Structure formats: structure tokens, C-alpha cells
């Protein structure tokens, strides 16, 4: 009898089941001739005996942690791994080919037998409250099916075997999240697609409606009166609504309200991070989520899971850092790749500033996090036993006991990242994201578009002084063109200088936010891996005095130009307020409708015509739904237009 489950265990899977040290020791023992002597019984049980007399048995249908070993270890030990490696050495020619399968094949009886009744009961409670999941089906290039749950990832590395399921969640939660992952595959097998929402419809029907209504009332009030009129009283109302939405587990609308409050605070402080178009987007997002909640309350409003899920021992690969802040504080967002989960996470740190201090990104680079300088942490491998992950993909890491968290240099870890964290074909990657819901209503997760893109070639960078932007045209290994584009950050004066130098210094890969804009693929960089090591522009020293080559002007297609012009006009209207909209702003709305019509976007033009007609006739209050309709339509149209074909 051939044990296909043991043959399917790769070195990385064994590392996930145990740790890298145990796997290396087992490999070393086998190479030195002190490995196990292996026999296979008629029932498929693989038995191994080691030179020291230790006997180990691996019965079929059980994971390695449930196998018998004479050493007495409670979990996966070097003997269990050693028997697997010895069996694989003797059966290399029997390795099976790619298997296309779905974990949804396991019924609840199989789940109860493998995971236990209490785990299944806990999973049902979570499902009843509501849970979202994103599925990745097996392919020849990536044969392991996996499920991204809001706060953890579950993988099924061995076809048709439940006992080997892996998760980055802590051990106490393993059974619950594995059951949820199986149910997610089962739902997707029945309904199709890769995004599923389970449960939550009955439980969410009435809860939080009052808070959601209050949020929309405040959004409409802001739209009528304008941002300049939003004072401390309005800010307090936003804070109370956000707390009410969070208490009702409507986390995504609560996040939109929190972002709106930050934008208003930035305007009052005259900070550069205030963006009228961002305010307009947030106002439309609240209305869009209210409309879509009836179809998918869990995915549109947020789950009722615990705020954070503790993770088991994890390895994180730093992808760079982004510095932000106001005259009162500074923030550092350190982005990490989580190879075991196949996605990016972010660690956020905020410092309050004493009066009179205004540190740059480079000044912050020596401040210590996890007992390491920020510049080292932003270019490091981090292994921690004290990590928790939230549904928005933020993480918290604590030092814990000695040696519970280690920070080591990055090395070549970027090149070892799995897809989709490592992107070699940007066009294929972006096409694979086409099934996502519109941005206005999809889950508000951080680092959603953060990836490492391998660079085949890059042209010299150029600077656009009008936009204060550095651009460099590059190609990935598949030959696809993409634009590396970075905006000037006044908190990091030498950032663009450091980026230009890094791109001119033998760049191998760039990490950052990958998206489609203006009809082309654009990467907003976080860090650059060069022949001499990683460079994080936001932490670079200097005053930004380097003379940069001027960038050539890039043409924008007429549809994108018309949509962006119209959205700017709508954002201007929201900033001033529909009640006190000045004449020039009304003219820009009318001109934008004409431009949309010329570009062939007659429906969008009609929505702007309706808005201007209501402003002229029925008054500002009647114009609010027309503004919302136009904003949602144009934002979604621009997103779809930018999407790759």
C-alpha cells in the first residue's frame, strides 16, 4: 500500500507542522545513515525504528501529531519527521502527480471525527454570527488549496486528508478554523466563485440599524454643510457613531467613519494628508455599504469574530515602511509578508510629538520596536510566538519571554516568497483579482494590494515637479510593463532621492502597492531590493536636495480623464457643501457632464445633469441622493475601466 499522504509532505509542509530545526536535524540524521529503518504493514501503517531503539508508527488517516512515537513527545517530533523522510527516500518513484480536489468533500461526520465535537460547536457559533472567506483552489503551479478567513489562513497540503490541515491560528483554535475553511469550500463548490459569506443573515438583520442610520445622517449633514463647517461637535458625533457601529460588529462602516474623522481633523490642522476626493469616497462608501448590506451583510458590514486571533509561531518577512503623521504625531506602518498565509500584514506604531519637535522618517529610523531599530525591523525576518492578527490584517507583536521574538536581516527572503506575495507576471496577477467586489463595498483590509514584484529591467527615473512625483518605467520577468511611481512625502524629504538612486543601482525587486491607474499597471514602492541590499526610501537620510531628471509627460486616455475630472468636481461640491456651493463649482459640474458625454459616458453625464438640475430647482436637500448616485456610479466606473482586460 502506497501512502500518498506521506509522499505529498514537502519540506516546507513539515516545517509548518513542526519547525525548521527539527526538519533539518531529521534530514541530517538521514544523510548520516542514522535514520529510521522503515517497514509498511498491510493496513498501510508505516513503522520506523531508529538506531537508538526509538520506534515510531504512522497509521493512515491520522496527522503526524496523532502518530505514536516511543520518545514520548506530545507533538510532532524529529522521529516522526525522520520516518516520513525515510519513507519518501524509498518511494521516490511512486510520487503522485497534481491532484485537483476540494476540501469541501469532507462532511460534518468526518469533521467531528477529526477535529472533535467542541471544535465543531465553536465553528458553528462563528458561522452563525457570520464569516467571510476567500478561496484559492489548487493548480499545478500552486497545488495546495487554502482559505483566507478574516483573521487567519487554513491550508490543506495533502489531498483528501484532513489530519494534515495547517493554520497559522493558535493551537486552541485549530479545529474551529479548519471546520470553517471546509464549510467555505463546501459553499463555494455549491455556489461557484472564490469569495463566500457564511451565515449571519438572520442575526444581522436588525442589529446596528440605528447606528447605521445615524452614520448616514451625519454623512448627509456633512455633504450639505461642507467640510469647513464641521467643528468639534460634529467630530464628537462621528466618534459616538463609530463606537456604536463597532459595538454592533459593523466594522467596515465603522472604519469608514473613523477615516472620515481623520480627514476632518487633518483639514482643521491644515495637514497635507487632507484629501477632498478621499472625503467624497468615504461619504459614498457609507451609502454603498447600506445598499449592499441586504445581499451580503457579513462581507459588506464586517464579521462578528473576536477583534484579534492569536497566531502560532509565525515567520514574517518585512516589505518596507511608510511614514505618516501630523504636527502632533508620527506613525510608522511596517509591512510584512506572511508566507504561511500567502498575504501581507501591517504593524502600526504611533508616537506623540512633544511641542516643537518635527522628526523626519530618517530621525524615526533609530527608534526601537521589538528591541530593534525601525530601519532594521523594516528590512528583517521576524519570527515570533507572540503575534495576533486582526480582521483588517493589522498585527500586534509583543516581545514576550526571552527569545520568543527574533529579528534577523532580510537576506534573500523576498525571492523565496510564494505567489501571490511574489509577483513575476503583473498582468496575470491583476487579472486574477477581477472577481473582487467593488472597492466601495469589499472588506476594509490593510495591505490588500501589497506585493513584491520582481524586476526584469527598469529605465532611468524621472521627476514630475508639478505633481512632485518620481516615475520609472519597468518590466517584470514576463515582459509586462509597469510604472514605479512615488509621491513626495514632506515627512521624508530624501525619499525620492533614495528611490531614484536605488532604481539606478541594480534593482532586483520592488515591494509596494500594486494597482491599475490611468490605464496602466502602477506600483507605489515601499522598499527596493538592490544588489547591495534593501533600501527603504521613507527612512533614508538627507534633505532632498538631489537634482533629478525631469520625467516625460504621460498622456491619460479620454475616458479616464473625463471620469477623474468629474470625480474632482463632485469632491469639490462635497467639500464646499451643497447648501453653499459657489458658482464656479456648479460650472465645473456642468462642464464635467459635457466631458463625460463627449467620452461616450452618457449615463454618467445624465447623473451629473440630474445633480445640477436639482441644485438649481429643488434645493440642496433634494440634491443629496443625486450626488450619492453620481459618486457611486463614477467611482465604480473608473475602477472597472482601470481593471485589466
CATH number of the domain that residue 517 is part of: 2.40.50
End-to-end distance of the chain based on CA atoms, in angstroms? Answer: 48
Question: Does residue 446 sit in the same domain as residue 522?
Answer: yes
324-336 pLDDT tens trace = 988 888 999 999 9
Q: Are 303 and 391 in contact (CB under 8 A)?
A: yes
| Position with higher pLDDT, 33 vs 302 | 33
Question: Does residue 398 sit in the same domain as residue 453?
Answer: no
CA angle (535 as vertex; 533, 541 as ends), nearest 5: 125
pLDDT of 296 > 80? The answer is: no
> What cell does 70 get?
516511543
353-382 pLDDT tens trace = 998 899 999 999 999 998 899 999 999 999
- Phi, then psi, of 637 in degrees rounded to 5: -60, -40
DSSP 552: P
Question: Does residue 475 sit in the same domain as residue 457?
Answer: yes
Coil, strand or helix: which one is 526? strand
Q: What is the count of structural domains for the chain?
A: 6
H-run or E-run covering 46:
strand 46-49
Q: Is residue 306 domain-resident?
A: no
| CB-based burial, 203-231: b 16+ in 10 Å, e otherwise | ebeebbeebbebbbebbbebbbbbbeebe
User: What span, in angstroms and rounded, lies between the C-alpha atoms of 339 and 343?
Assistant: 7
Q: Is residue 278 domain-resident?
A: yes
Question: Does residue 459 sit in the same domain as residue 394?
Answer: no
Q: Are 492 and 330 in contact (CB under 8 A)?
A: no
Q: Is residue 552 domain-resident?
A: no
% residues pLDDT > 90 (the chain): 59
The alpha helices in 36-106, defined as continuous H runs, are 78-90
Q: Give one DSSP letter per residue of 179-215, joined into a string.
A: HHHHHHHHHHHHH-SSEEEES-HHHHSSTTHHHHHHH
Residue with grid cell 462563528, as numbered in its chain = 126
Q: Is residue 573 domain-resident?
A: yes
Q: Are 451 and 463 in contact (CB under 8 A)?
A: no
| Containing structural domain, residue 436 | 422-539
Question: Does residue 574 sit in the same domain as residue 511?
Answer: no
Question: Does residue 286 sit in the same domain as residue 365?
Answer: no
Question: Does residue 486 sit in the same domain as residue 395?
Answer: no
What pLDDT is recorded for position 97?
74
User: What span, in angstroms and rounded, lies between the C-alpha atoms of 8 and 2?
Assistant: 11
What pLDDT is recorded for position 402?
47
Q: How many residues does the chain have?
A: 645
What pLDDT is recorded for position 204?
45
Helices 251-268 and 209-225: angle between axes, nearest 10 degrees: 30
- Phi, then psi, of 566 in degrees rounded to 5: -65, -40
Domain limit, last residue, from 272, 301, 330:
301
Q: Are 414 and 511 in contact (CB under 8 A)?
A: yes
pLDDT confidence bin for 205, thresholds 50/70/90: very low
Q: Is residue 389 domain-resident?
A: yes
What pLDDT is recorded for position 390?
86
- In this structure, of 123-127, 198-202, 419-423, the range with the lowest mean pLDDT score is 198-202
Q: Is residue 416 domain-resident?
A: no
Q: Are 82 and 35 in contact (CB under 8 A)?
A: yes
Question: Does residue 372 sit in the same domain as residue 432?
Answer: no
Question: Does residue 208 sit in the same domain as residue 180?
Answer: no
User: What span, in angstroms and rounded, lies between the C-alpha atoms of 536 and 498?
Assistant: 8
How far apart, in Å, are the Cα atoms of 296 and each of 29, 191, 193, 351, 493?
53, 14, 14, 38, 44
Question: Does residue 113 sit in the same domain as residue 32?
Answer: no
Average pLDDT, the chain: 89
459-506 pLDDT tens trace = 999 998 888 899 999 999 999 999 999 999 999 999 999 999 999 888
Tell me the pTM. Answer: 0.81
- Phi, then psi, of 134 in degrees rounded to 5: -120, 130
CA angle (550 as vertex; 544, 553 as ends), nearest 5: 130
Domain limit, last residue, from 301, 336, 370:
301
What pLDDT is recorded for position 202?
43
What pLDDT is recorded for position 587?
95
Question: Does residue 481 sit in the same domain as residue 514?
Answer: yes
Question: Does residue 528 sit in the same domain as residue 566?
Answer: no
Report the candidate in 127, 125, 46, 146 with the shortest Cα–Cα distance to residue 86: 46
Q: Is residue 307 domain-resident?
A: no
> What secondary structure, in 3-state letters, does 585-618 show?
HHHHHHHHHHHHHHCCCHHHHHHHHHHHHHHHCC
Q: Are 54 and 77 in contact (CB under 8 A)?
A: no
Q: Is residue 13 domain-resident?
A: yes
pLDDT of 454 > 70? The answer is: yes
pLDDT of 401 > 70? The answer is: no
Query: Residues 143-154: what's their mean pLDDT?
Result: 91
User: What span, in angstroms and rounded, lies between the C-alpha atoms of 345 and 334?
Assistant: 9
What pLDDT is recorded for position 644?
65
Domain limit, last residue, from 301, 322, 355:
301
CA angle (579 as vertex; 575, 581 as ends), nearest 5: 55
Q: Are 301 and 289 in contact (CB under 8 A)?
A: yes
% residues pLDDT > 70 (the chain): 95
pLDDT confidence bin for 200, thresholds 50/70/90: low
Amino acid at each position: 500500500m502506497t501512502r500518498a499522504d506521506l509522499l505529498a509532505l514537502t519540506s516546507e509542509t513539515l516545517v509548518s507542522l513542526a519547525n525548521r530545526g527539527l526538519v533539518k536535524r531529521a534530514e541530517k540524521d538521514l544523510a548520516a545513515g542514522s535514520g529510521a529503518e522503515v517497514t509498511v504493514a498491510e493496513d498501510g501503517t508505516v513503522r520506523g525504528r531508529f538506531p537508538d531503539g526509538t520506534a515510531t508508527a504512522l497509521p493512515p488517516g491520522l496527522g503526524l501529531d496523532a502518530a505514536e512515537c516511543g520518545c514520548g513527545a506530545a507533538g510532532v517530533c524529529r522521529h516522526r519527521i525522520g520516518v516520513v523522510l525515510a519513507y519518501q527516500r524509498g518511494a521516490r518513484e511512486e510520487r503522485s502527480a497534481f491532484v485537483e480536489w476540494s476540501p469541501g468533500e469532507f462532511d460534518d461526520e468526518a469533521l467531528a471525527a477529526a477535529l472533535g465535537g467542541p471544535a465543531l460547536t465553536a465553528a458553528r457559533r462563528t458561522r452563525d454570527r457570520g464569516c467571510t472567506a476567500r478561496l484559492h483552489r489548487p493548480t499545478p503551479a500552486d497545488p495546495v488549496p487554502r482559505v483566507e478567513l478574516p483573521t487567519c489562513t487554513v491550508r490543506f497540503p495533502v489531498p483528501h486528508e484532513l489530519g494534515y490541515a495547517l493554520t497559522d491560528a493558535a493551537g486552541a483554535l485549530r479545529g474551529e478554523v479548519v471546520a470553517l475553511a471546509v464549510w467555505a469550500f463546501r459553499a463555494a463548490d455549491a455556489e461557484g466563485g472564490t469569495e463566500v459569506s457564511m451565515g449571519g443573515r438572520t442575526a444581522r438583520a436588525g442589529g446596528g440599524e440605528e447606528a447605521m442610520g445615524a452614520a448616514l445622517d451625519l454623512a448627509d449633514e456633512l455633504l450639505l454643510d461642507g467640510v469647513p463647517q464641521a467643528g468639534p461637535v460634529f467630530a464628537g458625533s462621528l466618534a459616538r457613531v463609530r463606537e456604536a457601529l463597532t459595538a454592533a460588529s459593523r466594522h467596515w462602516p465603522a472604519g469608514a467613519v473613523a477615516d472620515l474623522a481623520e480627514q476632518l481633523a487633518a483639514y482643521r490642522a491644515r495637514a497635507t494628508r487632507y484629501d477632498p476626493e478621499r472625503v467624497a469616497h468615504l461619504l459614498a462608501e457609507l451609502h454603498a455599504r447600506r445598499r449592499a448590506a441586504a445581499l451580503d451583510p457579513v462581507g459588506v458590514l464586517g464579521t462578528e469574530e473576536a477583534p484579534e486571533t492569536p497566531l502560532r509561531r509565525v515567520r514574517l518577512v518585512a516589505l518596507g515602511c511608510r511614514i505618516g503623521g501630523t504636527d502632533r504625531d508620527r506613525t510608522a506602518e511596517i509591512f510584512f509578508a506572511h508566507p504561511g498565509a500567502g498575504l501581507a500584514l501591517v504593524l502600526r506604531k504611533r508616537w506623540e510629538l512633544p511641542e516643537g519637535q518635527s522628526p523626519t522618517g530618517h530621525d524615526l529610523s533609530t527608534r526601537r520596536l521589538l528591541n530593534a531599530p525601525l530601519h532594521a525591523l523594516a528590512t528583517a525576518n521576524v519570527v515570533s510566538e507572540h503575534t495576533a492578527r486582526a480582521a483588517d490584517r493589522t498585527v500586534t507583536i509583543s516581545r514576550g519571554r526571552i527569545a520568543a521574538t527574533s529579528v534577523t536581516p532580510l537576506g534573500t527572503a523576498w525571492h523565496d516568497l510564494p505567489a501571490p506575495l511574489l509577483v513575476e507576471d503583473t498582468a496575470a496577477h491583476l487579472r486574477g483579482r477581477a472577481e473582487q467586489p467593488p472597492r466601495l463595498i469589499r472588506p476594509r483590509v490593510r495591505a490588500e494590494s501589497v506585493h513584491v514584484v520582481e524586476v526584469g529591467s527598469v529605465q532611468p527615473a524621472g521627476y514630475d515637479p508639478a505633481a512632485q512625483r518620481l516615475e520609472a518605467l519597468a518590466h517584470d520577468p514576463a515582459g509586462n510593463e509597469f510604472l514605479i511611481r512615488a509621491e513626495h512625502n514632506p515627512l521624508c524629504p530624501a525619499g525620492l532621492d533614495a528611490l531614484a538612486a536605488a532604481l539606478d543601482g541594480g534593482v532586483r525587486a520592488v515591494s509596494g502597492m500594486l494597482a491599475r491607474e490611468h490605464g496602466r499597471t502602477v506600483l507605489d514602492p515601499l522598499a527596493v531590493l538592490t544588489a547591495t541590499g534593501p533600501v527603504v526610501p521613507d527612512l533614508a537620510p538627507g534633505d532632498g536636495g538631489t537634482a533629478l531628471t525631469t520625467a516625460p509627460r504621460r498622456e491619460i486616455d479620454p475616458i479616464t480623464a473625463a471620469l477623474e475630472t468629474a470625480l474632482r468636481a463632485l469632491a469639490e461640491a462635497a467639500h464646499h457643501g451643497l447648501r453653499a456651493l459657489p458658482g464656479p463649482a456648479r460650472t465645473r459640474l456642468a462642464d464635467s457632464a459635457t466631458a463625460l458625454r463627449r467620452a461616450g459616458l452618457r449615463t454618467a453625464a445624465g447623473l451629473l445633469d440630474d445633480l445640477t438640475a436639482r441644485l438649481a430647482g429643488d434645493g440642496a436637500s433634494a440634491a443629496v441622493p443625486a450626488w450619492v448616485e453620481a459618486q457611486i456610479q463614477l467611482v465604480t466606473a473608473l475602477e472597472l475601466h482601470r481593471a485589466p482586460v
